Amino acid sequence: MLAPALRYALPNVLGLIAITGLLGGGWYLAAATAVIVAVVGVADEAIGDAPALPGRDGALLYDTQLYLAAPILIIATAALMRLVAALAPVGSWPAGAEMAEAGVAVLLVGYFYALIGATVAHELVHRVRNRWAAVCASILLAFTFNTSFTVFHLRGHHRLAARWDDPATARRGETWLEFFVRTSFEQTAFAFRSETTRLRREGRNALTPRNRVLRRQAYSAAVLCGAYATAGLRGLLAFLAAALVGRIAHELINYVQHYGVIRAEGAPILPRHTWSSRRLLSNALHFNLPLHAEHHVDAARPFWRLGAITDGPVLPYGYQTMAVIALVPFWWRRVMAPHLDAWDRSFASANELALLRAYGRDGVY
Structural domain contains residue 365? no
In a domain, 216, yes or no: yes
Residue 206: predicted pLDDT = 87
Q: What pLDDT does 53 receive?
A: 66
364 assigned to some structural domain: no
Q: What pLDDT is attached to residue 129?
A: 84
Contact 195, 206 (CB under 8 A): yes
Helices (H), the chain: 4-7, 10-24, 26-37, 44-47, 59-67, 69-86, 97-112, 119-125, 131-142, 149-152, 158-160, 176-201, 212-215, 217-258, 280-285, 292-297, 319-326, 329-346, 350-358
Q: How far apart are alpha carbons 246 and 142 in whole angstroms?
A: 11
Domain of residue 209 covers 4-358
Please give the pLDDT value at position 34: 96
**CB neighbour class for 159 (10 Å; exposed up to 12, middle 13-18, buried from 19):** exposed
- Residues 292 and 165: their CA atoms lie apart, in Å, by 20
Residue of 176, 174, 177, 181 lying closest to 326 (CA atoms) = 176
Q: How many CB atoms lie within 10 A of CB 268?
A: 8
Return d(Cα 251, Cα 188) in angstroms, integer.
13
Identify whether 184 is part of a domain: yes
CA distance 106 to 249: 13
Let me know if residue 136 belongs to a domain. yes
Structural domain contains residue 121: yes
Give me the number of domains the chain comprises. Answer: 1
Tens of pLDDT, residue by residue, the chain (365 residues)? 556 667 899 999 999 999 999 999 999 999 999 999 999 989 999 999 987 766 666 678 889 999 999 999 999 999 999 999 887 665 666 667 788 899 999 999 999 999 999 999 999 999 988 889 999 999 999 999 999 999 999 999 999 999 999 999 999 999 999 999 999 999 999 999 999 999 999 989 888 888 999 999 999 999 999 999 999 999 999 999 999 999 999 999 999 999 999 999 999 999 999 999 999 999 999 999 999 999 999 998 899 888 867 788 999 999 999 999 999 999 999 999 999 999 999 999 999 999 999 999 988 99
257 within a domain of the structure (yes/no): yes
Whether 271 contacts 308, CB under 8 Å: no
pLDDT of residue 91: 60
**Alpha carbon distance 320, 51 (integer Å):** 18
Task: Give CA–CA dist 171/179, Å, rounded.
Answer: 8
**Is residue 103, in this structure, part of any structural domain at all?**
yes
Judge contact between 110 and 249, C-beta under 8 A: yes
Spatial separation of the C-alpha atoms in residues 296 and 159, rounded to whole Å: 10
The pLDDT value given to residue 311: 83
